[in-house]
Structure 1
Amino acid sequence: MISRLLKVTPRLRLIGIVLGVFAALVVTIVTTGDWTRNHVLAFQSESPSPVRSAVFEGDGSLHLPDGYRHWEHVGTRIKPDGRSVLDGSEITTPQVMDTYIVPAAFDFFRKNGIWPDGTQIVKEISLIKTGKDCDKNTFVCSTSFGSGIFQASYIGMGVMVKDSKRFPSAPGNWGYFAFRSNGSMYQATATARPQQQCASCHIRLSSNTDYVFSSTHIGLLPGNSQ
């Protein structure tokens, strides 16, 4: 009987060692899994905005956005009269406003329904073509390519920038800027506009859509932001 126990004991010891190693391995895997999952969640919660921020000078002026005409175009509006959004001057020739949004911000909005930090929205303004071949009332012009209303020249642009660090107390963290055209060239930088020039209208008319005029842009209407 004693000889049998002596033979079995080494086996029991070996089984015990194996079970101990297996248990330690299980604890390590579970602990490592929890650590990895928790750190991934923490990383996700602290991840920066997917949108590259706008470029600013040291004095806070905004650089002219680079390549904005290649951004997502979400709509065009013709403003026939009233006051220009550039400087409040009276409109004597209809203005065309084309709106572009930085693609990463548009993709985020399309998937999540909100505008992320770093969003830039450009509204570029041009004048309607006029002249001897154009009707003075309808502004329809006759050309060898057919009749139509044509854009003639760019006169400026308005830019909205969402930046929670730079505009922490502004509604929606939006800053507003305007660039004027000097012939075929825009000014290189622009300073932030006072609230009464741009922000006041956005606050009054579109506070429920994060201060963006979504309803006036066909590309931002439900079902159209594909």
Structure 2
Amino acid sequence: MTALAAAMLSLGAAPRDPERTPPSDYRFTADHRLEFPVDYREWIFLSAGRGMTYGASANPNGSPLFDNVFVNPRAYREFLKNGRWPDRTVFVLETRKAATEGSINKGGQFQKEVVGIEVEIKDRRLQETEGWGFFEFDGDRKPARQVAKGASCYTCHAAHGAVEQTFVQFYPTLIPVAMKHATFKPQP
């Protein structure tokens, strides 16, 4: 065992798993596709909603879907300091089916399998879309192309985002932070 490996083990450090995205980052492929953030469920959980989905994974004929929103830890810590999202912020919107059958009470609903994953990133290099990009992942989770400029996600987030292009108004733990730093834009 090398001295470096022994030192890493003594400090509790583990070698990096090449299959995992760094927990506070994202990567693009050579052809500018976003790699799927495989460890997003280890990130900061912001909120869950029901019936908020409007994209391809929406379920117009069935029970409203659940949405879970996660953000990378580095961006979250920075937001707590100043109420703004730093460059390289990553949001993951995980959409899941809802179920009632099997609930231990009469009116309960719970989450089932994932039916969609959407990612929003803030990256100053995305100048054509004002520093924000949206990506939709298929079930196979292969790298995704950026959603084209002019798509409804860009216009909706620009018009209705309470902080920059993000829906902080639906993240109850972040509303007081944004208000404290005067970055919260009230919604009509």
TM band (smaller chain): 0.7 to 0.9
Give me the whole-angstrom Cα distance separating, in 1, the residues matched to 2:58 and 2:99.
Answer: 21
Give me the whole-angstrom Cα distance separating, in 2, the residues matched to 1:196 and 1:114.
Answer: 24
Kindly provide the amino acid, as one letter, of the partner of residue 170 in structure 2: T
User: Does the CA contact (< 8 Å) of 1:86 and 1:157 recur in 2?
Assistant: no
- Count of residue correspondences: 154
Change in CA separation of 1:223 and 1:117 when aligned onto 2, cut-off 3 Å: closer
Structure 1 residue runs of 4 or more that deviate by more than 4 Å after TM superposition = none
Are 1:128 and 2:86 an aligned pair? no
Corresponding residue of 2:70? 100
Higher helix share: 1
Aligned-residue sequence identity (percent) comes to 26
Displacement of 1:92 in angstroms is 2.1
Map 1:1-226 onto structure 2 (within 5 A): 52-79=24-51, 84-86=54-56, 90-130=60-100, 134=101, 142-143=103-104, 146-147=105-106, 148-165=108-125, 167-171=126-130, 173-181=131-139, 186-194=140-148, 195-206=150-161, 209-222=163-176
User: Larger Rg: 1 or 2?
Assistant: 1
Kindly provide the amino acid, as one letter, of the partner of residue 43 in structure 2: W
Displacement of 1:91 in angstroms is 4.8
Q: CA RMSD in A?
A: 2.3
SS in 2 for 1:100: strand
Residues 36-56 of structure 1 deviation map (CA, whole Å, 9 limit, x = unaligned): xxxxxxxxxxxxxxx954111
Gap runs ≥5 in structure 2:
1-22, 179-188
User: Does the CA contact (< 8 Å) of 1:120 and 1:160 recur in 2?
Assistant: yes
User: Does the CA contact (< 8 Å) of 1:86 and 1:178 recur in 2?
Assistant: no
Gap runs ≥5 in structure 1:
1-50, 135-140
User: Does the CA contact (< 8 Å) of 2:25 and 2:72 recur in 1?
Assistant: no
Change in CA separation of 1:92 and 1:53 when aligned onto 2, cut-off 3 Å: same
TM-score norm. by structure 1 comes to 0.61
Change in CA separation of 1:124 and 1:76 when aligned onto 2, cut-off 3 Å: same
Displacement of 1:180 in angstroms is 2.5
